[in-house]
Amino acid sequence: GENVEQHPSTLSVQEGDSAVIKCTYSDSASNYFPWYKQELGKRPQLIIDIRSNVGEKKDQRIAVTLNKTAKHFSLHITETQPEDSAVYFCAAPHFDGGYNKLIFGAGTRLAVHP
Amino acid sequence: DAGITQSPRYKITETGRQVTLMCHQTWSHSYMFWYRQDLGHGLRLIYYSAAADITDKGEVPDGYVVSRSKTENFPLTLESATRSQTSVYFCASGQGSYNEQFFGPGTRLTVL
């Protein structure tokens, strides 16, 4: 089945610095890669996603890059702010009996220090 | 996101008891999901449903039962709770395989 590995597990940066979180996946048929953000005590929420027909997607200060050959994708946050502090989860689909189930990485806890 | 709700928000139970967690969505999304969240494991899929009366297993289905008689409801039952089922449970809904999943607020379950 699909295996999604996420690194690092924790990340600490100074406000204004960039943060990069990387994920690798094993199912070469995967073609949709979402990123979810979960603030402390809150529910996960989608922040950006990318489909396999593009290599990069940007939305203001966040971007996601995809390398299908190497089977990895990354989340980039520029000019980090304290409100970016949260746990971030990547995910990749795995086809299993009629539906592409999302397999989530273990998460990265990002702390942005003022 | 008032469109998807879970109840109860907190539950303490004892080993061996049956527990049912409720999930209700108002968007008429076809798909609904149950995840459990444990430290170090991220979000793991327990069961999902593609439509009313259609359910299937996820990554960690053992010890859980689901049903979906109506599109808007997707209850999760722990038939005989064990301590290893202590976790935060999230329900989610969405329109399909490559669409955003909308998560409920979660239920924190403690099994003593």
pLDDT tens sequence across B16-69: 999 999 999 999 999 999 999 998 788 999 999 999 999 999 989 999 999 999
pLDDT of B81 over the 70 cut: yes
Most A CBs within 10 Å: which of B43, B44, B89, as the mutation test of the A interface? B43
E strand or H helix that includes residue A83: none
| Mean of per-residue pLDDT scores for chain B | 94
Three-state SS letters, A33-59 = EEEEEECCCCCCEEEEEEECCCCEEEE
CA–CA separation, B45 and B94 (whole Å): 14
Beta strands B54-57 and A72-77 are unpaired
pLDDT tens by residue, chain A, 114 residues: 678 999 999 999 999 999 999 999 998 888 899 999 999 999 999 999 999 888 899 999 999 999 999 999 999 999 999 999 999 999 998 877 667 788 999 999 999 999
Whether pLDDT at B1 is above 60 = no
Beta carbons within 10 angstroms of residue A85's beta carbon: 17
Q: Which positions ≥6 away from B92 have C-beta within 8 Å? A: B4, B32, B33, B34, B35, B101, B102, B103, B104
* Residue count (chain B): 112
Contacts of A23 in chain B (CB under 8 A): none
Nearest CA in chain A to B36: A104
- The reported pLDDT for the residue numbered B41 is 81
- Residue A52: what pLDDT? 80
pLDDT of the residue at B39: 82
Which of A113, A81, A105, A87 lies closest to A30 in space, CA to CA?
Answer: A105
Residue B106 clears pLDDT 70, i.e. is over it: yes
* Chain B contact for A30 (CB, 8 A cutoff): no
Is B56 touching A (CB cutoff 8 A)? Answer: yes
Contact B90 A100 (CB under 8 A): no
Backbone angles phi, psi at A87, to 5 degrees: -100, 130
What pLDDT sits at residue A24? 96
Which tokens in the block code for residue A103?
């397999």
Query: In whole angstroms, what is the distance from residue A27 CA to residue A5 CA?
Result: 12
* Size of the A and B interface in Cβ pairs below 8 Å: 52
Q: Does A44 touch chain B (CB under 8 A)?
A: yes
B4: tokens are 């998807």
Q: What percent of chain B has pLDDT over 90?
A: 86
Instruction: Examine the pLDDT at B97 and tell me if it is beyond 80.
Output: no
Q: What is the DSSP letter of B100?
A: P
Instruction: State residue B2's pLDDT score.
Output: 65
Report CB contact under 8 Å: A102, B45: yes
What pLDDT, on the 0 to 100 scale, is given for residue A98? 67
pLDDT band at B5 (very low <50, low <70, confident <90, very high): very high
